[in-house]
Structure 1
Amino acid sequence: MAHVDPITFEVVRNALLNAAAEMKVVVMRSSYSTIWRESGDLSCALLSREAEMIAQGPGDLPAHLATMPFSLRGALDKIPIDTLEPGDVLFHNDPQWGNNHLPDCVMAKPIFVDGEIIGFSGVRGHWTDIGGMGAGSYTAVTTDPIQEGLRIPPVKLYRRGEMDQSYVDFILANVRVPRDRLGDIRAQYAGCVTGERKLLALAEKYGRQTVVDCMHEILDHGEQLTRAELEQIPDGTYHYTDYSDGDGVTDGSIKIQVAVTVAGSNIHVDLTGSHPQTIGGMNCPLAVTYSSVQYAVKAAADPWNPANSGCYRTVHVTAPHGTVVNPILPASVVAGNHETAMIIVSAMFGALSQAAPERVISAGSDSSVVTVIGGIDPRPERQGRKYVYIEIQGSAWGATHRGDGVNVMRAGVGNTGNQPIEVVETEYPVTVLEYSMVPDRSGAGKHRGGVPMRRVTRLDGDAQVTLIAERGRIAPFGLEDGKPGGLGEYCFNPGTECEEKLFSKTAPIDRQRGEVLSVCAAGGGGFGPPSERDPEQIRRDVEAGFLSPEMAEREYGVRVDNRVKGSGDPS
């Protein structure tokens, strides 16, 4: 490999990053699903011929991206690279071939220059429905992986630039709202073509070999930056155990146990001792477990620089087969992709806090807080069409040594936005009655945990409702003597005689028009002793509605009226 001069390297590197970002814009603006065009629940990337991640979109999802090399390698194991032709497009969603879970369908287009593949453009998007036992294909309460939906092994969905209609017809016959799914297939294809055009333009300007050399240097550079930061973390082995609420099928929590060994610029994560494989959909395919560990290392060691596969060369994982972090496939995995994955991340942060507390955060909501509502739209203008509405709710994040946790924002392995109420109420037969931040759920500390969100939704027609959330039973932990965050709360018909509390994972439930669903995520854990919090910050929290005066006095010993007074002040 020839060395590329630094100016050309930076120009090409940034052009590839911009290409990935443009791919996402194209997909979002051409997609049919509100979860794509409003929430951005999709990710785009450019990969090398060897299926290594070269460039990814800046706001895309780690759960999608770090697993994309696994998915592409799986596809190439089944469809060898030397059988690909210009215009071919690979497609699948099967965890047995490296995918993360069934709703996330990955599409990859080989990019040819002078008759040779130099890389791939890839788009992974969360399909609103992929079949299965319930609307939206989203419930952890599965006892058989067949219940999760249609499993599509790697196929050539496009051959020499032409869509293979027989595959498409088969897929659309097995999903809800096939019109929207066809639109999303075409949007994914448009994203792949956009990435291809950008890479071809670079190859034409700088030459094929220069672009290939830049790809290799990008990976090496990512590795160097990550290794330099890991060397700043003290060597040693650090242990932590965290728990998920459970899978909703069997009673009892799910243990995630990590031993993180830092040795110079290498890091080894051993998940031995984690819970056995679950019946319900909380299992993490190995690709997801690697993705979670890689995300945690990247966030703790080197969050500033663009991520690529080179950053993860220093990360090594042991995950015993037959456990929740490496199940025997096929297995139920739908919620492992983000619920169990985030518990792995939090356990990683808990372990690393013993070595470098300034690099990690306390636990937070640690959940996508997914609500699925589906059925037949009763509104006359919708002509009784089927619909599937998926909402991924904002969450609270744990505090750090530098400041308070982030409020009502989803990030972590699943970095998506909320859908605007105006769009939701236009597209679906629901009315959003409340969309608010919830006080007194933040873990107390020198820096308080993040404030969670409550979303209260009325059904304007009979519907099937499913919930996948977390931290309704196991509170988010604080660090350095910070207090735990408040538990999540999920129920139907709150404040009425018909109020019905829900576990954080439900089966698809048939509900009637007029019923109300309340979903409140857990709060973030605190960081540092509550006694060290600045009273002025406590007053501001009360003024902002993050904290009630009663909670301020109970947790911090500070009485808040028109001004801040110590709890011993008699006035």
Structure 2
Amino acid sequence: MIQQAPLGLIDKQILWNRLIAVVEEQAQTLQRTAFSTIVRESGDLAAGVFDVRGRMLAQAVTGTPGHINSMALAVGHVLDRYPADVMKPGDVFIHNDPWMGTGHTNDFSVTTPCFRDGKLVAIFACNSHLMDIGGVPRMSGSIDVFMEGLYLPILKIVEGGVVNDTLMELIRANTRLPIETEGDVYSLIACNDVGCERLVETMGEFGIDDLAPVADHIIDASRAAVLANIRALPRGSWSSSLTLDGFDSPLELKAKLTISDDGIHVDYAGSAGMVKQNFNVPFCYTIAYTSYALGCIVARDIPNNAGSLEPRTVSAPPGTVVNALKPAAVVARHLVGLMLPDLVFGCLRQAIPDRVPAEGAGVLWGINVSGPRVSPARHNDSFVVGIVTTGGMGALPVRDGLSATGFPSGVRGGPVEIFESMSTVIVWRKQYRQDSGGAGRQRGGLGQDIEIENGIPEMFELASSYERIIHPAKGFDGGLEGARGVVALSTGRALSGKGRFPVQPGERLIIQSPGGGGLGDPTARDRAAVEADLANELISQDAARSLYGLNVAQAAE
């Protein structure tokens, strides 16, 4: 046998970049073939490659932190159940355990060992959101995880290239959308297959039969780069708190962040305990969004992998809302999870105020509606469809917050044309929500105004699961808070942020997503920027005059 020549540093770096390209193609395959609208149109997914020890080497740019950073842990759980030495070519593993995956049962995780010439060389993983996997239709009605649909432990869905038809039949039988759900499972399997094919081709091109040297280089270089950035920050501990709307009463979150030579640690001691409702957060999801928030500060230009994640550590007392224990209800875990970056930024703002944004909407206001396509008498002819609605990002020290963005989730707003084509509803209006961005030297991002009505004379239902209706995003350093979110009917009736509500024929559903907080004194805002906001109708004349101190008449000349 010819001895493989050692890889040089340049070879390792090229291979690292190729791995990132491989997993991006993997993710694009998943997005193009997915049946789920939130995956296909909004990118609610993750894809990545791992070494045989279960360390994440590269993740696709396409995806969300909640999926990606929890996927980084999920492969380890699969290896605990099926060690590498028992994996065979053609095997594929699946699960949707919230505590081992992405935090709720609607997200399926698929893991595929990749072999080259009969030798295990890597492991590919992906996950995505499925629109329906059974459970109670009232989204806010679940009180434990067993009410939230099909619950799959880590199982082998393909063995030696043969699909487990019994398991696939079980999946089909536990969803209101059997065709779409089965299609999404095959989409997940296919995406890993594409990743493996490209990796094997790459290894053949470079003449290597082992990724270990590249894996060690990726992990070691990334860890060192993040630690160098952390060591450039002030040392110490800082605390912050954040109040959320909750269900019947406000929910308080607390965090203490400590920066040391060894890394950054965030502890959530003092946060509210688990709740009866379903916005409890499994710890993997807490880790995911905490790590992401820290990464925005200390790893912006460093690829995300096991090495760059290692110096960012998290703890939370078991039984708190951010470390919920099975069988807690968790299907709406994003309501709390997406707020964790603002809580982390609240700590960092005290240490490095010139690098941290104001609070943002932190929302994915999914408009999830269901109803009959023709008549309630035809029970099987119904639709269950969702579209992602986004809000405003908090203002940054150097620029305005982004408008109508899913930050920090990374999920994009979905096109209304797809939403309408899969249901009977009509979206009459979808536009920026004027004056919703918190005023400031740097303005907060705007939310959206959306108006929806059924196109047939039948009732449809909204399943709402929203935050920032009572407690808006705060501004800082003189900046004002963003606008609160609103859910209402055209009749004037206000709806709760959490529940299931009928929309009768002739009524319109009004959704106004919240805005981000402003940063700095609004009267110090550049006059040209205020005039541009006014001309683009992002702010009203009243706001330009009363909040920003603009002479509207003079500006119009």
- 3-state secondary structure, aligned to 1:276: coil
Q: Which amino acid aligns with 2:98?
A: P
Go from structure 1 to structure 2 and tell me whether the alpha carbon gap of 1:170 and 1:323 turns closer, same or farther (over 3 Å shift).
same
What's the counterpart of residue 420 of structure 1? Answer: 415
What's the counterpart of residue 484 of structure 2? Answer: 487
Offset of 1:150 from its aligned partner?
Answer: 1.2
Offset of 1:99 from its aligned partner?
Answer: 4.0
> Which residue of 432, 437, 440 corresponds with 2:432?
437
- 3-state secondary structure, aligned to 1:97: coil
> Which residue of 535, 540, 550 corresponds with 1:548?
540
Separation of aligned partners in 2, 1:104 and 1:522: 26
Whether 2:369 is the aligned partner of 1:369: answer no
- 3-state secondary structure, aligned to 2:551: strand
Offset of 1:3 from its aligned partner?
Answer: 7.0
After superposing the two structures, state which structure 1 stretch, 462-471 or 436-445, moved more.
462-471
Separation of aligned partners in 1, 2:316 and 2:92: 32
> Which residue of 329, 340, 343 corresponds with 2:339?
343
Whether 2:404 is the aligned partner of 1:408: answer yes
Deviation per CA, 1:15-64, whole angstroms, max 9, x where unpaired? 11111111122122222222222222222111222222211111311100
> Which residue of 8, 11, 31 corresponds with 1:8?
11
Whether 2:112 is the aligned partner of 1:109: answer yes
Offset of 1:117 from its aligned partner?
Answer: 2.2
> Which residue of 57, 60, 67 corresponds with 2:60?
57
Q: Give ranges in structure 1 of 5+ residues lacking alignment.
A: 566-571
Kept in 2, the 8 Å contact 1:75–1:92? The answer is no
Offset of 1:378 from its aligned partner?
Answer: 1.8
Offset of 1:434 from its aligned partner?
Answer: 0.5
> Which residue of 313, 316, 332 corresponds with 2:313?
316
After superposing the two structures, state which structure 1 stretch, 215-224 or 383-392, moved more.
383-392
Kept in 2, the 8 Å contact 1:378–1:384? The answer is no
What's the counterpart of residue 449 of structure 1? Answer: 444
Offset of 1:341 from its aligned partner?
Answer: 1.2
After superposing the two structures, state which structure 1 stretch, 401-410 or 80-89, moved more.
80-89
Q: Which amino acid aligns with 2:8?
A: D
Kept in 2, the 8 Å contact 1:35–1:391? The answer is yes
Determine what percentage of the aligned residue pairs are the same residue.
28
Offset of 1:279 from its aligned partner?
Answer: 0.9
Please report the RMSD computed on the Cα atoms of aligned residues, expressed in angstroms.
Answer: 2.1
Separation of aligned partners in 2, 1:99 and 1:450: 28
Offset of 1:470 from its aligned partner?
Answer: 1.3
Go from structure 1 to structure 2 and tell me whether the alpha carbon gap of 1:379 and 1:358 turns closer, same or farther (over 3 Å shift).
farther
Offset of 1:352 from its aligned partner?
Answer: 0.2
What's the counterpart of residue 218 of structure 1? Answer: 218
TM-score under structure 2 length normalisation: 0.94
Count residues in correspondence: 551
Offset of 1:331 from its aligned partner?
Answer: 0.9
Offset of 1:444 from its aligned partner?
Answer: 1.3
Deviation per CA, 1:123-171, whole angstroms, max 9, x where unpaired? 1010011111117xxx244222222111111100111111101001011
Kept in 2, the 8 Å contact 1:536–1:564? The answer is no
- 3-state secondary structure, aligned to 2:350: coil
Whether 2:459 is the aligned partner of 1:462: answer yes
Go from structure 1 to structure 2 and tell me whether the alpha carbon gap of 1:398 and 1:564 turns closer, same or farther (over 3 Å shift).
farther
- 3-state secondary structure, aligned to 2:339: helix
What's the counterpart of residue 288 of structure 2? Answer: 291
Kept in 2, the 8 Å contact 1:244–1:474? The answer is yes
Mapping of residues 212-361 of structure 1, within 5 Å: 212-246=212-246, 248=247, 251-336=248-333, 338-361=334-357
Offset of 1:2 from its aligned partner?
Answer: 10
After superposing the two structures, state which structure 1 stretch, 95-104 or 148-157, moved more.
95-104
Deviation per CA, 1:371-406, whole angstroms, max 9, x where unpaired? 2112332299x9963322111112210001101110
Go from structure 1 to structure 2 and tell me whether the alpha carbon gap of 1:564 and 1:223 turns closer, same or farther (over 3 Å shift).
farther
Offset of 1:217 from its aligned partner?
Answer: 1.1
Kept in 2, the 8 Å contact 1:12–1:211? The answer is no
Kept in 2, the 8 Å contact 1:243–1:343? The answer is no
TM-score under structure 1 length normalisation: 0.92
> Which residue of 26, 31, 46 corresponds with 2:29?
26
Q: Give ranges in structure 2 of 5+ residues lacking alignment.
A: none
Go from structure 1 to structure 2 and tell me whether the alpha carbon gap of 1:348 and 1:7 turns closer, same or farther (over 3 Å shift).
same
Mapping of residues 161-176 of structure 1, within 5 Å: 161-176=161-176
Offset of 1:258 from its aligned partner?
Answer: 0.6
Kept in 1, the 8 Å contact 2:121–2:209? The answer is no
Kept in 2, the 8 Å contact 1:95–1:330? The answer is no
Go from structure 1 to structure 2 and tell me whether the alpha carbon gap of 1:50 and 1:359 turns closer, same or farther (over 3 Å shift).
farther
Separation of aligned partners in 1, 2:133 and 2:48: 23
